[in-house]
Amino acid sequence: TPENIRNVSKRKLCDTVIQLAQTHKPKPDPNGLVFGTVFTDHMLTIEWSLEEGWQKPHIQPFGNLSIHPGCSALHYAVQLFEGMKAYRGPDNKVRLFRSMINMKRMLKSAHRACLPSFDCAELLECIRKLVEVDQDWVPHSDSASLYIRPTFLGTEPTLGVKKPNKALLFVILSPVGSYFSMGAKPVSLWADSKYIRAWRGGTGDCKMGGNYGASIYAQYEAVDYGCQQVLWLYGDDHQITEVGTMNLFLYWINEKGEEELATPPLDGIILPGVTRQSILELARKWGEFKVSERYLTMADLRQALEENRVREMFGSGTACVVSPVDRILYQGENLHIPCEGSLPPLASRLLKELTDIQYGQTPSDWSCIV
Amino acid sequence: TPENIRNVSKRKLCDTVIQLAQTHKPKPDPNGLVFGTVFTDHMLTIEWSLEEGWQKPHIQPFGNLSIHPGCSALHYAVQLFEGMKAYRGPDNKVRLFRSMINMKRMLKSAHRACLPSFDCAELLECIRKLVEVDQDWVPHSDSASLYIRPTFLGTEPTLGVKKPNKALLFVILSPVGSYFSMGAKPVSLWADSKYIRAWRGGTGDCKMGGNYGASIYAQYEAVDYGCQQVLWLYGDDHQITEVGTMNLFLYWINEKGEEELATPPLDGIILPGVTRQSILELARKWGEFKVSERYLTMADLRQALEENRVREMFGSGTACVVSPVDRILYQGENLHIPCEGSLPPLASRLLKELTDIQYGQTPSDWSCIV
């Protein structure tokens, strides 16, 4: 529980070093912002070494990092990140949303990347302190927010491909506008098996940098084909896995005639998204239709479209909450996905229920005051 | 040809800025060195931006890089590297080995990583100048060398997953000892399909950082199983692909009774190694046995071992040239690979022929004086 997290942390983190910035940047209008382009006045850095373990956390003025040119994060992508947000409610209180899930996923990514373990509650408390220091940067808005980007790097300064003996965990903050500030814009997808995002035995279920850098090329090919994002397929049967950097949901009447909200299962190639998990839990709580983690193939989708069984398809992620899909280019054919009113009913309902929790308008233990 | 390279480059690179180090580090005994732990006095840095293109190359004192904490190389592994060596011959001249192949591979990796193009000949000339500045660091040795590590990073300082608008190419140098300074040590391999190094539609044929960071975890699992490196398998038929960070060769009597040197084909999941290519070309020039780029499965290998048709198996790479394999742990069984005298005849012959070219003892257009 959030109470426990606070208690554990306060005992251990009494020695966080805080050095406040002497100057403060002007705060931008969040509605005009491009995602991740403006950063706040402070950042959190915590160093680790094999000999000395974790050092004191430092909250310090935002600025460049001094990095050895042999650093393993630069040569071998020994690196991972997380993404979460702080939201300011109408009560002027700042809240985090299910942030312990991010901490645990970060720990899992660290294990896979051969980076050291950390105490999730302690790190969350450090991040809470950072957000507190920069709390004026959390937009006064019911749709903008403060994006929180924890990053974890191997800083081993030698060229052997091995577990790093040094590491740096840092957190930066960026105010971001509403994803839907200019109304919902359904996205078009390029579905092709030419590029594969992740594969079994790889790192697709962890938030490691390499997963993202490898995806950019395909994104531009999607644009060349007149689409906005990539629908990532897998296997000879063209399983639908993720969309762009989001998880994917299909709301349909399935092959058995059941009303179903479906998303691919966490079988090693799917990122376990916090929004994904929250959508599944909300919809299961409603109990109004079947909610499934199951395989979906392009053949399943195409047949359902022919038989008018598809109601909605949308991506899910921290940035947008939900992002409706209205078209998929697959094997030279445009598949049109129903997308009533740009933000169709289920996506719209999920967006409202989740943002009401995030901004503190619906009381919930998913939300925790900073 | 090397002459052409020089001519093209000298025209364009007249404005390389050289700032010499004020102090010089002591040069270590290369025989005691752990790979990639000691760096020379200088480094090369070249910045690029979308607006201004490539900036002047700088040869400057070796030192830390100042990197924006939102840098795309740190978050999304928009990064790649190369590995090559400079060798000092008995004539005291310093040579590079087929370095234009590295430049072209680097350009291919840059394309895949959505990093900007560059002129291969120009970059090679910059690297030549850097090696010239630090030429005293090239060991006086017939087995040690100066390892050259070009690195290319996206330095876009924003968090969108996209083609970077800024980039940094840098090159560092590290004196390295002989791989076989204490005699050849055959390696044992853990062959398991639990981890997959690369897959079709991914980045396994490019030297992108993400390929390497994702491999470290498996390497430690191999050690837990009492083996030294991972034999990377692919597909349901357990194709043999690479070993650790090296290409792989099998020298055997194949299923048709032919004497054959075989390595997996460049089908998208294999790194096109310079040593791999050189071994294939040398062996084809000899014309003494069949030389094939072909699929090899664990079943093929096991059957050949049962029928005493395997002569040698070895990895190939810039660090070692060749690295013999004497044991593979596969499905709970130890497969023993013939490994006569620790460095068996074919591996030994290839090592000698290649190092004789690299150190200038055999004249060859594969070798180019700095």
Final residue before a domain boundary, out of A176, A207, A223 = A176
- Non-local CB neighbours of A243 within 8 Å, separated by 6+ positions: A187, A189, A229, A230, A231, A232, A315, A323, A325
Q: Is B90 on the interface with A (CB under 8 A)?
A: no
pLDDT tens digit sequence for B321-359: 999 999 999 999 999 999 988 899 999 999 999 999 999
Residue A121 main-chain phi, psi, to 5 deg: -70, -40
Q: Which residues of B touch A159 (CB under 8 A)?
A: 35-37, 147, 149, 174
Q: What is the pLDDT of residue B32?
A: 82
Q: Is A8 on the interface with B (CB under 8 A)?
A: no
Beta carbons of A214 and B202 less than 8 Å apart: yes
pLDDT at B11 over 50: no
Identify whether residues B158 and B245 lie together within a single domain: no
ipTM above 0.90, yes or no: yes
Q: What is the pLDDT of residue B2?
A: 45
Q: What is the pLDDT of residue A4?
A: 43
Identify whether residues A66 and A42 lie together within a single domain: yes
Q: With beta carbons less than 8 A apart as the criterion, state whether B329 and B190 touch.
A: yes
Q: How confident is the model at residue B12 (pLDDT cuts 50, 70, 90)?
A: low
Identify whether residues B163 and B91 lie together within a single domain: yes
Q: Is B62 on the interface with A (CB under 8 A)?
A: yes
Please report, as a single letter, which amino acid is at residue B96. Answer: L
pLDDT tens digit sequence for B159-211: 999 999 999 999 999 999 987 767 778 999 999 999 999 999 999 999 999 99
Q: Which residues of B touch A163 (CB under 8 A)?
A: 216, 220
Q: With beta carbons less than 8 A apart as the criterion, state whether B338 and B312 touch.
A: yes
> What are all long-range contacts of B216-224, with beta carbons under 8 Å and residues at least 24 apart?
B216/A76, B216/A78, B216/A113, B216/A114, B216/A161, B216/A162, B216/A163, B217/A111, B217/A112, B217/A113, B217/A114, B218/B194, B219/A161, B219/A162, B219/B244, B220/A114, B220/A163, B221/B190, B221/B192, B221/B194, B221/B195, B222/B189, B222/B190
pLDDT tens digit sequence for B88-131: 999 999 999 999 999 999 999 999 999 999 999 999 999 999 99
pTM of the model: 0.95
Identify whether residues A207 and A154 lie together within a single domain: no
Q: Which residues of B touch A153 (CB under 8 A)?
A: 74
Q: With beta carbons less than 8 A apart as the criterion, state whether B134 and B39 touch.
A: no
Among the partner-chain residues A72, A78, A172, the one whose CB lies closest to the CB of B70 is A172
Give the total residue count for chain A: 370
Q: Which residues of A touch B114 (CB under 8 A)?
A: 216-217, 220
Q: What is the pLDDT of residue A12?
A: 52
Q: Alpha carbon of A356 to those of A3, A12, A100, A360, B351: distances in Å?
A: 22, 33, 19, 6, 67
Indicate the SS3 state at residue B317.
Answer: strand
Pairing of strands A187-192, A321-330: parallel
Q: Say if A206 falls within a structural domain.
A: yes
> Which residue does chain B place closest to A81, by CA atoms?
B75
Calpha distance B123→B342 (Å, rounded): 39
Identify whether residues B203 and B84 lie together within a single domain: no
Q: Which residues of B touch A174 (CB under 8 A)?
A: 70, 159
Q: Say if A122 falls within a structural domain.
A: yes
For chain A, what percent of residues have pLDDT higher than 90?
A: 91
- Non-local CB neighbours of A229 within 8 Å, separated by 6+ positions: A187, A188, A189, A190, A219, A222, A243, A244, A315
Final residue before a domain boundary, out of B134, B154, B176 = B176
Cα A20-A26-A27 angle, rounded to 5 deg: 100
Identify whether residues B38 and B105 lie together within a single domain: yes
Identify whether residues B245 and B135 lie together within a single domain: no
Q: Say if B36 falls within a structural domain.
A: yes
CATH number, position A56: 3.30.470.10
Identify whether residues A218 and A86 lie together within a single domain: no
> Which residue does chain B place closest to A176, by CA atoms?
B159
Which domain range does residue B140 map to?
17-176
Mark which residues 151-210 of A lie under 8 Å from B by CB. 151, 153-154, 158-163, 170, 172, 174, 193-196, 199-203, 208-210
Domain count, chain A: 2
Q: Say if B9 falls within a structural domain.
A: no
Q: What is the mean pLDDT of residues B5-31?
A: 74
pLDDT tens digit sequence for A139-159: 999 999 999 999 999 999 999
Indicate the SS3 state at residue A280.
Answer: helix
Identify whether residues B202 and B350 lie together within a single domain: yes
Mark which residues 122-151 of B lie under 8 Å from A by CB. 147, 149, 151
pLDDT at B6 over 50: no
A181 versus A351: which is more confidently predicted? A351
Q: With beta carbons less than 8 A apart as the criterion, state whether B28 and B157 touch.
A: no
Q: Say if A3 falls within a structural domain.
A: no
Calpha distance A92→A140 (Å, rounded): 8
CATH number, position B356: 3.20.10.10
Q: What is the pLDDT of residue A7?
A: 42
Q: Say if A33 falls within a structural domain.
A: yes
Q: How confident is the model at residue A258 (pLDDT cuts 50, 70, 90)?
A: very high
B55: left (phi over 0), alpha (psi -120 to 50) or beta: beta
Indicate the SS3 state at residue A219.
Answer: helix
Q: What is the mean pLDDT of residues A45-53?
A: 97
pLDDT at A261 over 50: yes
Beta carbons of B196 and A194 less than 8 Å apart: no
CB atoms closer than 10 angstroms to residue A25: 12
What single string gives the DSSP state of each residue in B27-53? PP-GGGPPTT----SEEEEEEEETTTE
Identify whether residues A140 and A28 lie together within a single domain: yes
Identify whether residues A161 and A264 lie together within a single domain: no
Q: What is the pLDDT of residue B30?
A: 81
Q: How confident is the model at residue A14 (pLDDT cuts 50, 70, 90)?
A: low
Calpha distance A182→A175 (Å, rounded): 17
For chain A, what percent of residues have pLDDT higher than 70?
A: 96
Q: With beta carbons less than 8 A apart as the criterion, state whether A47 and A168 touch.
A: yes
Q: What is the pLDDT of residue B14?
A: 57
The DSSP bridge partners found for residue B349 are none
Final residue before a domain boundary, out of B119, B144, B176 = B176
Indicate the average pLDDT of chain A: 94
Q: Which residues of B touch A73 (CB under 8 A)?
A: 73-74
pLDDT at B228 over 50: yes
Q: Alpha carbon of B50 to those of B115, B164, B171: distances in Å?
A: 10, 8, 21
Q: Say if A2 falls within a structural domain.
A: no
pLDDT tens digit sequence for A105-117: 999 999 999 999 9
- Say if residue A261 is exposed, middle or buried (CB neighbours under 10 Å; 0-12, 13-18, 19+): buried
Please report, as a single letter, which amino acid is at residue B77. Answer: A
Beta carbons of B74 and A112 less than 8 Å apart: no
Q: Is A70 on the interface with B (CB under 8 A)?
A: yes
Among the partner-chain residues B37, B147, B151, the one whose CB lies closest to the CB of A75 is B151
> Which residue does chain A place closest to B319, by CA atoms?
A160
Please, how many CA atoms are within 13 Å of residue B183, restricted to the half-sphere of its CB? 4
Q: Say if B3 falls within a structural domain.
A: no
Q: What is the pLDDT of residue A11?
A: 43
Identify whether residues A131 and A86 lie together within a single domain: yes
In terms of Cα–Cα distance, which of A136, A196, A190, A145 is closest to A318?
A: A145
Q: How confident is the model at residue A30 (pLDDT cuts 50, 70, 90)?
A: confident
Q: With beta carbons less than 8 A apart as the criterion, state whether A264 and A235 touch.
A: no
A232: left (phi over 0), alpha (psi -120 to 50) or beta: beta
pLDDT at A3 over 90: no
Q: Which residue has the tokens 């994104």?
A: A219
